Amino acid sequence: MNTLTEKQKMIAGLDYFASDKTLVAERFAVRKQLDLLNSLAQEQVKPRANILKSIFGTTGKRLYIESTFKCDYGYNIHVGENFYANFGCVILDCAPVTIGHDCMLAPNVGIYTAAHPLNPALRNSGLEFAKPITLGNNCWIGGNAVINPGVTLGDNVVVGAGAVVTKSFGDNVVIAGNPAVVINKIDL
């Protein structure tokens, strides 16, 4: 019987130990690349994009992220064409994060796939789990918004500044609040 590695468990959405040597080494390796990215001048567009393309699982040809940017692993992040993230973006990519074409993230957006057990004994044991996040095409995420584990947003979704998105929403809506709710529909 084959036993799954902690990395395989993490990506599969199973309980895993983030203190696993392989996972720790991968996080430290990507942090070195992020330190380089965040040290480059903003006008160094091509070198910045090349670093992101080497970190992320897949990308479109055109992407830009303002400094500072942080992520856990990078290889679980998949962005479409014309991706933009403003200052202070954090993506905890313990599970896949899939972002469609023409998406924009305002300053200080947090996309968090990582979660911890509610039971304190389990949480203190170091167990974690992660749930994937998907953003459709043409999403615009407002400043200081948080996208929580397991959320899927459809195409053309606008997330208001400061929103805490705890559940999934379909296409063509504006959502805001804590927890986020639909406040408007978008007519196309």
Known catalytic residues are 116
Give the burial string for 63-100 (b: 16+ CB within 10 Å, else e). Answer: bebbeebebbbbbbbbbbebbbbbebbbbbbbbbbbbb
Contacts of 7 (CB under 8 A, 6+ apart): 16, 20, 22, 23, 26
Number of neighbours of residue 104 by Cβ within 10 angstroms: 16
Q: Is 49 left (phi over 0), alpha (psi -120 to 50) or beta?
A: alpha
